[in-house]
């Protein structure tokens, strides 16, 4: 049996989904469709049933790709749990009536039930059940209230007798239902509503955006640095370094295995960044340099996502983003890109047109550095002085703007206008924030660690076989002539295709000047995407789009790297 | 009392009115209607951004942001301003 969770966007379907399927969620993104969905399983009595979290839709008469997917999926379901936002019953009922007109059993979860009280909304449940002809269960997904009742009521889902109406008739019917079941008493504005208004006004909104983004940046740095300095770093220095030294002498301080596992050790100290063995840099780079920033960034992002601030930022940025051929909502994938480019490029699906998706994906993969890369830039370049880090970020930002303006004029197609619902502010729930953080950190560990190990293995094998020298000599004119880097730096640029964090790490033993490190970081950030990004670009943009993006990337990276080298 | 009929973009922040018409094609109307923006609904303008930026309205206690071009085609009959 297949249960579909359907409803308007942002009514809490995914929270109900995770409540229903519990910890045993098999979250899989299905490739091939334009907009992904998630499926999981739950126990219903003795039966194991499939639950699908369908993308949000306002109507079954698709006006967007997400709605098209929702409409198609409806064909394959056995029962629909229609999740309805109780604080906006009127608009939500449009989809509900469309579902009831179909020949499929429906049960309604009247979610955000707790909010109706604060907002002075009174809904007569029995009357609503009678008018709709299906079970209606009030729920509060974030606290779990009503979920048991919802599960118990699933077998009572039915497909009632409902006349098939056209759009206008349906709105008339909804008007009559609302008239009979809903009473609204006027409430004074709460501080949250005042803050909500202030954050979409041009002046106060700008000030709030600045405060939010600047404090987000400093909080991420504070958490990241603290984890490195006080929690994870000391573990490596105090406990792991002695183990490595013992192992090193056990292996005789040299030889093939020593090279691969421990790398280059000079004297009595282990340099975890520069030694480049599997057990030294292979563990230190992901766990002690990158992971702290991943945790810090995704914690902050989760809080911003759950508070409801991001759509407001999208509204504020809309005018600016139109100059880059995008609309305001593109700021959300862009922010995600500061964590990892892969989910960011997937998230460009929320943009309506192909042109927007191409521009957004290209800008993200070229000018938005991922958290792993940023962590390494902070780690290595930060030691030389904050101004150098600022130059890297400043350069990437300027490239983002200029390239966006160019693409706006060059890329074919059109950019539709912004049209979004702005959700009310909510206090993020720790449970959901931490759960999301764990999923993302787990995802990072699962995907990054094998590739980091692979990259380090490849580096050592190539080094032992002496292949690096050949590549370095071959590309010396570009790397040394144009970018002003030592010819060995090309290896880092090549490894950048596997993992950007390892690649920046490879610049460490080269004894670069601060300027060279700046050029190297910028070129690494902009040039060829890492393999994961490369694959997601291929999937989302197709072969032609991916080749275009990659071409732009290589050309722009060389131009900007050359300019930086020449100018400063 | 004279009734004033203007588009969302010309409303002042804080003014309220009732939508009487959505100009333009079926595509635009159905995108807006899907979000509940349709004739007969009472809206209050919350804000608008500079330089032909989006317009933010409140309708049924929900805020919506509408791009300038679209907002320009949503025609509203203003309510009499109360003191």
Work out the average pLDDT over A335-348: 86
* pLDDT score of B2: 55
Do residue B65 and residue A314 have CB atoms under 8 angstroms apart?
yes
Q: Which residues of B touch A417 (CB under 8 A)?
A: 54, 66-70
Q: Is the pLDDT of residue A214 over 50?
A: yes
Could you tell me how far CA A200 lies from the centroid of its own chain?
A: 24
Q: What is the pLDDT of residues A383-407, one digit of tens each?
A: 888 899 999 999 999 999 999 999 9
Do residue A205 and residue B60 have CB atoms under 8 angstroms apart?
no
Q: Alpha-carbon distance A342 to A349, whole Å?
A: 12
* pLDDT score of A92: 93
Phi-psi region of A356 (alpha: psi -120 to 50; beta: other; left: phi over 0): alpha
Dihedral sign from CA coordinates of A336, A338, A343, A344: positive
Q: What is the pLDDT of residues B12-69, one digit of tens each?
A: 888 899 999 888 777 788 888 888 888 888 999 999 888 888 999 999 888 899 999 8
Q: Alpha-carbon distance A88 to A184, whole Å?
A: 11
Q: What is the pLDDT of residues A292-311, one digit of tens each?
A: 999 999 899 888 888 889 88
Give the ipTM.
0.90
Cβ of A351 under 8 Å from any chain B Cβ?
no
Q: A70: pLDDT confidence band, cut at 50, 70 and 90?
A: confident
Cβ of B32 under 8 Å from any chain A Cβ?
yes
Most confident of A161-170, A350-359, A385-394, A531-540: A385-394
Q: Which residues of A touch B34 (CB under 8 A)?
A: 58-59, 63, 94
Nearest residue of chain A to residue B64 (CA atoms): A421
Q: A107: pLDDT confidence band, cut at 50, 70 and 90?
A: very high
Q: How far is B2 from chain A (nearest CA, A)?
A: 28
* pLDDT score of A36: 62
Q: Is the pLDDT of residue A108 over 90?
A: yes
Cβ of B28 under 8 Å from any chain A Cβ?
no
* pLDDT score of A110: 95
Q: How far from A450 is each of A396, A446, A453, CA to CA, in Å?
A: 29, 7, 5
Work out the average pLDDT over A23-31: 33
CB atoms within 10 A of CB A87: 22
Cβ of B24 under 8 Å from any chain A Cβ?
no
Q: Is the pLDDT of residue B3 over 70?
A: no
Cβ of B56 under 8 Å from any chain A Cβ?
yes
Work out the average pLDDT over A21-48: 59
* pLDDT score of A28: 28
* pLDDT score of A402: 94
Do residue A311 and residue B62 have CB atoms under 8 angstroms apart?
no
Q: Is the pLDDT of residue A195 over 50?
A: yes
CA distance from start to end of chain A: 65
CB atoms within 10 A of CB A180: 12
Pick from B13, B49, B61: CB nearest A319: B49
Could you tell me how far CA A268 lies from the centroid of its own chain?
A: 42
Residues 502-561 of A with CB under 8 A from B: none
Q: Computed over its alpha carbons, how large is the radius of gyration of chain B?
A: 12
* pLDDT score of B1: 47
Q: Is the pLDDT of residue A32 over 50?
A: no
Q: Which residues of B touch A314 (CB under 8 A)?
A: 65
Cβ of B19 under 8 Å from any chain A Cβ?
no
Q: How far is B79 from chain A (nearest CA, A)?
A: 18
Would you say the pTM of this structure is higher than 0.80?
A: yes
Cβ of A122 under 8 Å from any chain B Cβ?
no
* pLDDT score of A140: 92
Q: Which tokens belong to A504? A: 């920046």
Q: Which residues of B touch A422 (CB under 8 A)?
A: 56, 62-65
More confident residue, A502 or A83: A83
The share of chain A scoring above pLDDT 70, in percent, equals 96
Do residue B54 and residue A328 have CB atoms under 8 angstroms apart?
yes
Residues 354-393 of A with CB under 8 A from B: none
Q: Is the pLDDT of residue A473 over 70?
A: yes
* pLDDT score of B55: 94
Q: A174: pLDDT confidence band, cut at 50, 70 and 90?
A: very high
* pLDDT score of B82: 54
Q: A138: pLDDT confidence band, cut at 50, 70 and 90?
A: very high
More confident residue, B63 or A568: B63
Q: How far is A63 from chain B (nearest CA, A)?
A: 6
Work out the average pLDDT over A453-465: 86
Q: What is the pLDDT of residues A50-65, one digit of tens each?
A: 998 888 888 887 666 6
Q: Is the pLDDT of residue A268 over 80?
A: no
Nearest residue of chain B to residue A87 (CA atoms): B61
Helix, coil or strand: residue A273: coil
The DSSP bridge pattern shows strands B16-22 and A47-53 to be: unpaired
Q: Is the pLDDT of residue A556 over 80?
A: yes
* pLDDT score of A369: 92
Q: Is the pLDDT of residue A25 over 60?
A: no
* pLDDT score of A34: 36
Do residue B56 and residue A422 have CB atoms under 8 angstroms apart?
yes
DSSP H/E element including A39: strand A38-44
* pLDDT score of A299: 92
Do residue B63 and residue A422 have CB atoms under 8 angstroms apart?
yes
Give chain A's mean pLDDT: 86
Q: Is the pLDDT of residue A35 over 60?
A: no
Nearest residue of chain B to residue A418 (CA atoms): B67
Q: What angle do CA A502, A341, A513 make, to 5 degrees?
A: 40
The 8-class DSSP code of residue A87 comes to G
Cβ of A19 under 8 Å from any chain B Cβ?
no
Q: How many CB pairs under 8 A join A and B?
A: 98
Work out the average pLDDT over A186-199: 81
Q: Which residues of B touch A208 (CB under 8 A)?
A: none
Cβ of B33 under 8 Å from any chain A Cβ?
yes
Work out the average pLDDT over A82-101: 93
More confident residue, A21 or A85: A85
Q: What is the pLDDT of residues A342-387, one digit of tens each?
A: 888 888 887 878 888 899 999 999 999 988 899 899 888 888 888 9
> Which of A315, A318, A421 is the best residue to mutate to test the B interface, defined by the most B CB atoms within 10 Å of its own CB?
A315
């Amino acid at each position: 049996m297949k249960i579909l969770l359907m409803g308007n966007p942002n009514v809490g379907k995914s929270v109900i989904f995770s409540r229903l399927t519990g910890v045993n969620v098999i979250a899989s993104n299905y490739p091939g469709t334009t907009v992904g969905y998630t499926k999981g399983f739950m126990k219903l009595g003795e039966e194991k049933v499939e639950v699908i979290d369908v993308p949000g839709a306002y109507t079954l008469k698709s006006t967007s790709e997400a709605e098209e997917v929702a409409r198609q999926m409806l064909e394959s379901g056995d029962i629909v749990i229609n999740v309805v936002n109780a604080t906006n019953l009127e608009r939500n009922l449009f989809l509900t009536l469309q579902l009831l007109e179909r020949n499929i059993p429906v049960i309604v979860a009247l979610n955000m039930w707790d909010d109706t009280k604060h907002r002075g909304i009174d809904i007569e449940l029995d009357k609503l059940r009678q008018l709709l002809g299906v079970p209606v269960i009030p729920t509060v997904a974030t606290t779990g209230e009503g979920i048991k009742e919802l599960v118990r009521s699933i077998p009572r889902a039915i497909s009632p007798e409902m006349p098939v109406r056209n759009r206008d008739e349906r709105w008339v019917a909804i008007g009559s239902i609302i008239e009979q079941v809903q009473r609204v008493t006027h409430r004074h504005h709460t501080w949250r509503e005042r803050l909500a208004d202030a954050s979409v006004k041009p002046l106060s909104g700008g000030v709030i955006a600045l405060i939010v983004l600047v404090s987000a940046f400093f909080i991420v740095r504070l958490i990241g640095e603290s984890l490195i300095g006080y929690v994870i770093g000391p573990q490596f220095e105090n406990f792991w370094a002695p183990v490595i030294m013992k192992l090193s002498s056990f292996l005789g301080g040299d030889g093939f295995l020593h090279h691969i596992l421990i790398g280059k050790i000079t004297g009595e100290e282990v340099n975890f960044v520069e030694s480049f063995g599997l057990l030294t840099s292979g563990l230190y780079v992901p766990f002690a340099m990158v992971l702290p920033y991943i945790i810090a960034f995704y914690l902050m992002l989760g809080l911003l996502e759950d508070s409801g601030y991001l759509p407001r930022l999208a509204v504020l940025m809309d005018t600016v983003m139109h100059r880059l051929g995008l609309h305001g909502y593109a700021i959300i994938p862009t922010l995600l890109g500061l964590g990892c480019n892969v989910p960011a490029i997937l998230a460009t699906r929320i943009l309506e047109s192909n042109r927007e998706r191409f521009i957004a994906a290209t800008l993200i993969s070229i000018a938005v550095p991922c958290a792993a890369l940023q962590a390494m830039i902070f780690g290595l370049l930060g030691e030389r002085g904050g101004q150098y880090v600022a130059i890297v970020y400043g350069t990437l930002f300027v490239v983002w703007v200029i390239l966006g303006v160019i693409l706006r004029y060059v890329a074919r197609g059109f950019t539709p206008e912004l049209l979004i619902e702005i959700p009310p502010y909510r206090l993020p729930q720790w449970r959901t924030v931490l759960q999301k953080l764990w999923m993302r950190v787990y995802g990072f560990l699962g995907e990054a660690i094998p590739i980091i190990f692979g990259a380090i293995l490849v580096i050592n094998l190539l080094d032992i076989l002496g292949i690096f020298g050949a590549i370095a000599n071959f590309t010396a004119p570009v790397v040394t002539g144009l970018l002003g880097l030592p010819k060995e730096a090309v290896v880092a640029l090549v490894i950048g295709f596997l993992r950007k964090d390892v690649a920046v790490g490879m610049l460490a033993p080269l004894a670069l000047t601060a300027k060279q490190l700046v050029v190297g970081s910028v070129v690494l950030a902009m040039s060829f995407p890492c393999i994961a990004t490369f694959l997601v670009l291929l999937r989302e943009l197709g072969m032609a789009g991916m080749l275009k993006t990659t071409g732009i990337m290589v050309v722009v990276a060389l131009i900007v790297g050359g300019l930086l080298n020449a100018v400063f | 009392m004279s009734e004033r009929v203007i588009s969302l973009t010309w409303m002042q922040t804080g003014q309220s009115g009732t939508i009487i018409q959505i100009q333009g094609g079926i595509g635009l109307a159905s995108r807006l209607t899907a979000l509940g923006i349709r004739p007969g609904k009472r809206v209050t303008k919350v804000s608008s951004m500079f330089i032909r930026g989006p317009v933010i309205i409140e309708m049924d206690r929900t805020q919506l942001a509408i791009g300038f071009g679209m907002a320009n085609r949503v025609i509203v009959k203003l309510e009499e301003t109360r003191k």
